[in-house]
């Protein structure tokens, strides 16, 4: 018969082999995530979702215990997503794609981000090095594209996509690049902070280079919201390093107040805005004002339960404006608060705001280092500005980018 020591050695070898396989799998998914960021971010939902799915058996029990420590937050979060998904029943948009994405991908993204808390110090350091390498490579790509005016992306659009002439190819490339830049910015901050905490000058130099790349990425692809998002992320991260959890708590509290009162705040702001100011704005920002006004008109028609999930995808309001025709009801509201009110009404807004208010308390109770809090504040700040001014609040690619940013922030365990 096999001796007990022999069985133990064989079991230990199996555990070590399994852990090495898991480590390689995670590193592969993080590397793929970096590549997806360079390609515009759309593939991030796949790589981060797979990470959450594959490692669910590893982190589910400890994750459930962690969630039980903040039951109100979890309950309200589930209720918010449930109500928004339920609103598809009365939406004029008949495709249920967003329901499946919100219901199935959101838990996987949460588990993928939480997984960083369960890694050993050795494994956390290994995955941090993977993220450093990936972030630097992606940052270098965006720097080249920023300095060349989207040369590589334009060539890809012209030769491999459907663009038919150079100007269109560059324009389409910048849309893809600006989306990828948002995801890259969210990753760059926590990774740069980890490098900055290293004792040697070379790694601190890499940290500075990474943030310079993020600056170029934010300012180079015709999306001013990226510049504002990066600046806000840096400000709230710096305030967090100085004040601890107070700064991110105030940020999340402000987001909750905004979601709750978005129609009132936006209505007052648009009513008080002088016409000469609107006339002087660039077209992209003036167009946003028209969108917000049209969405407010729709909210007044269904204030309690909204028009249903993705309702704007089934609406259109083409209007002559500044010698062109614009759509005052495009795919989304370009403002998270108005978007939630439009689709899920006051009920959805109250639930989402209550979830954010519960998160304020959870941030105060969480046993996190100041570097972790600063990383979370930076990532959350960029995401909030992005969904308040640019992207649709439900889009899964930037939910995955948020999860990746949170994952990288959780790896910064020492101050």
pLDDT tens track for 48-99: 999 999 988 888 788 788 877 888 999 999 999 999 999 999 999 999 999 9
412, 116 Cβ separation under 8 angstroms: no
Nearest of 331, 395, 407, 379 to residue 214 by alpha carbon = 379
Q: What's this model's pTM, rounded to 2 decimal places?
A: 0.91
pLDDT of 9 > 50? The answer is no
The confidence band for 16, taking pLDDT boundaries of 50, 70 and 90, is: very low
Does any domain span residue 209? yes
Query: What's residue 137's pLDDT?
Result: 96
The confidence band for 15, taking pLDDT boundaries of 50, 70 and 90, is: very low
Query: What's residue 163's pLDDT?
Result: 67
Q: How far is CA 144 from CA 182, 192, 218, 242, 290, in A?
A: 16, 19, 13, 34, 35
Does any domain span residue 116? yes
402, 383 Cβ separation under 8 angstroms: yes
Q: Which of 66-75, 112-121, 346-355, 365-374 has the lowest mean pLDDT?
A: 66-75
More confident residue, 244 or 322: 244
Q: Give me the chain's average pLDDT, please.
A: 89
Does any domain span residue 64? yes
Query: What's residue 7's pLDDT?
Result: 42
Please state the domain count of the chain: 1
Does any domain span residue 122? yes
Does any domain span residue 315? no
The tens digit of pLDDT for each residue in 228-251 reads 999 999 999 999 999 889 999 999
Torsion angles phi and psi, residue 122, rounded to 5: -65, -45
**Owning domain of residue 47:** 41-260+333-410
Does any domain span residue 300? no
Query: What's residue 32's pLDDT?
Result: 95
């Amino acid at each position: 018969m096999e001796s007990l020591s022999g069985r133990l050695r064989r079991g230990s070898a199996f555990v070590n082999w399994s852990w090495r396989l898991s480590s390689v799998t995670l590193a592969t998914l993080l590397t793929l995530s970096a590549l997806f960021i360079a390609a515009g971010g759309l593939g991030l939902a796949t790589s981060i979702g797979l990470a959450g799915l594959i490692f669910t058996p590893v982190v589910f029990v400890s994750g459930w215990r962690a969630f039980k420590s903040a039951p109100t937050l979890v309950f309200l979060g589930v209720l918010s997503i449930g109500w928004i998904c339920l609103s598809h029943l009365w939406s004029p948009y008949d495709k249920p794609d967003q329901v499946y994405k919100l219901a199935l991908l959101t838990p996987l993204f949460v588990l993928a981000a939480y997984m960083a808390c369960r890694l050993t110090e050795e494994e956390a350091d290994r995955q941090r090095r993977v993220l450093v390498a990936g972030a630097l490579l992606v940052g270098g790509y965006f720097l080249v594209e920023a300095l060349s005016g989207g040369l590589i992306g334009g060539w890809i659009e012209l030769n491999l996509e459907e663009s038919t002439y150079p100007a269109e190819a560059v324009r389409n490339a910048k849309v893809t690049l600006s989306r990828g830049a948002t995801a890259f910015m969210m990753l760059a901050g926590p990774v740069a902070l980890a490098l900055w905490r290293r004792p040697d000058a070379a790694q601190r130099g890499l940290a500075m280079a990474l943030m310079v790349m993020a600056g170029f990425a934010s300012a180079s692809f015709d999306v001013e919201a990226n510049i504002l998002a990066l600046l806000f992320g840096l400000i709230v991260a710096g305030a967090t390093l100085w004040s601890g959890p107070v700064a991110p708590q105030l940020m999340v509290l402000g987001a909750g107040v905004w979601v709750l009162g978005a129609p009132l705040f936006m209505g007052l702001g648009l009513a008080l805005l002088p016409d000469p100011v609107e006339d002087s704005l660039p077209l992209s920002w003036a167009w946003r004002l028209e969108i917000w006004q049209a969405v407010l008109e729709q909210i007044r028609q269904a204030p309690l339960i909204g028009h249903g999930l993705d309702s704007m995808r089934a609406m259109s309001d083409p209007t002559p404006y500044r010698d062109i025709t614009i759509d005052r009801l495009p795919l989304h509201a370009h403002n998270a608060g108005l978007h939630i009110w439009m689709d899920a009404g006051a009920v959805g807004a109250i639930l989402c705001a209550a979830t954010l208010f519960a998160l304020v308390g959870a941030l105060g109770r969480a046993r996190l280092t100041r570097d972790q809090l600063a990383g979370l504040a930076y990532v959350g700040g960029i995401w909030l500005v992005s969904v308040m001014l640019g992207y649709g609040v439900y889009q899964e690619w930037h939910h995955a980018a948020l999860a990746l940013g949170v994952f990288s922030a959780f790896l910064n365990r020492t101050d």
